[in-house]
Each structure stands twice: as C-alpha cells, then as structure tokens.
Amino acid sequence: MTGLCTGRVAVVTGAGRGLGRAHALAFAAEGARVVVNDLGVGLDGTGGTAGPAQRVADEIRALGGEAVAHGGDITTDAGAASLVTTALETYGRLDALVNNAGFLRDRMLVNLEEDAWDTVVRVHLKGHFLPLKHAAAHWRAEAKEGRVPEARVINTSSGAGLLGSVGQGNYSAAKAGIIALTLVAAAELGRYGVQVNAIAPAARTRMTERTFAETMTAPEDGGFDAMAPENVSPLVVWLGSVASAGVTGRVFASEGGRITVMEGWRPGPTIDKGARWTPAEAGEATLKLLAAAAAPQPVYGAR
C-alpha cells in the first residue's frame, strides 16, 4: 500500500459488514486510523449487537492498524454526536466521514407500510444527515479558528437512487435524497475546507444478494470477482484522502473495475412560447420535446 491516508482519521458508518467493512479495512491499509461504527442490526434493521463493529476494529488492529469500535445509533442526534466525539477523543482529529449505514424493508408500493417507509428513510437519509451535521460543525469551528481542514465526506447512494428500483420505493427515495443532500453539503461546506461526494456502488452484500441473485456469485476459478465489495473501496479511500483535492459535489457509480461519473439532471430539449400555453398546446409541445429527448434509462436492476 502507498500510505495515502497516513495521519488521517476516518469514520465509517455501517462498517461491521459488507461495503462498510471493506472501506474500513481499506482506509486502515492506507494508514488511516478508523472509527468503525455499526449498530449490529439484521438486514431489516431489527435486533442489534456491538459484535460486528468490534470484530472489524479487532481485525484492523490484528493487521497492525489503529481502530476503535463505536456502536451508537447514528440516526439519533446523541448517537451521531458521540460518533464524532469518539474520533476526536480517541485520535484528536477527524478527516473523513463515510456515511454507509443502511438496511432494507422492501415492498411494492401498495403493500408498503408506513413504518417500513419511515424506518428505511430514517436509517439511510437521516443516518447521513446527522453524522454529516456534527462532523461539519466541528470542521466549521476548526476553519473559524484558522485551522482549515482538508476534510472529506463520502455519502452512499445507489443505482436505485439514480433510476428507481421496483419494490424499493422507500429505499430509492432515501437514496435519491442522499444525492441532493450531497450537492447541498458540497455547496455549503466548501468554504470550510470540506469536500462532499457520493458513490452509487454495486457489490455483493447482504442488502443486494436477492436483487442480483443470478449475477452475485463469486468466481470459482480464483479470477476477478467483479461483485466483491472490496472493489468499491479504493475509490472511497481516494475520495477520503488529500489526493482528491478539488473534487466535490460529484456522484460516482462504482462496480467491479468500472468507475463512472454520473452526470445527473441536465436541461434537455426545450420550447419557450413566450406566453402562457393552453393545455392542448402544452401537450403538443411536450410530445415534440419527448420525441427529441434521449430515452430514459431502465429502472435499476431491470433486465
């Protein structure tokens, strides 16, 4: 490894398993000291144990790195505040925040219960907002004292947030919200030395194994495992390092060996009458615009 993050402190939420664990290990391998957060809940968000976070922290230390476990609930203000406090009290600084925690409660819209909506939006969207808020408050205070940080935030969206996903209205809405939150945070926090980006990863985890059941198996011949979560982590570590200076407000898709800059909503074909349309005129004009526009991408996961 190159020591890309030597001297830096990274916080990773949802780091007990899957992508979060891979990110935590990758940061540590590049010299970062890591706060490993995980509530230890099941795939649907029920239960909870400090075991997963502690195991990853122990794994990092066994490999010669530095890590501390944090089992707090980052969807609460107190839990998110204690996450930042843990980094500052343990290592004296905070340089990178990777928001990754989440779980699923999939249902078709007509069967989606209110609690399943609220719970999934809470863990994904609020679980990004609160750690970001408390980390940003620290970095702003540092900047105002003349110690402008080289701080980095990497948020975790999804192809479902970019394109939608059948049976995942709650998850897709939350992941789309994370992209908007990323853009706002990048614009607001740049003056304090904070860069904010988002990734839309595709990898084999507990959350995706059912979605990609036909393509998620690891190769049996020892070849390149395109769906391994470790494939996403190099980009996350680079975004969390000082080497990514100047990169902010971006969304990156990452799958296997492929990295894509997602370009988001941009103005397409347009017509300006210069006056109010009638409904019939608006419809006729819209059909002309659609004929000239690019076809929409299929819903995420569709074949």
Residues labelled catalytic: 158, 171, 175
Nearest to 95 by CA among 243, 246, 242: 242
CA 20 from chain center: how many Å? 10
Q: Is the separation of the CB atoms in 128 and 99 below 8 Å? A: yes
Angle between helices 114-121 and 169-189 (to 10 degrees): 30
Nearest to 198 by CA among 135, 154, 263: 154
Residue 227, SS3 per DSSP = coil
Q: Which residues of 184-203 are buried (b: 16+ CB within 10 A; e: fewer)?
A: ebbeebeebbbbbbbbbbbb
CA 207 from chain center: how many Å? 14
Token representation of residue 116: 């399943």
Residues 6+ apart with CB under 8 A from 103: 41, 42, 43, 44, 45, 120, 123, 207
SS3 percent helix, strand, coil of the chain, rounded to 5, is 45, 15, 45
Residue count of the chain: 303
Integer Cα distance of 175 and 173 in angstroms: 6
Q: Find the Cα–Cα–Cα–Cα dihedral 179, 185, 188, 189, rounded to 10°.
A: -140
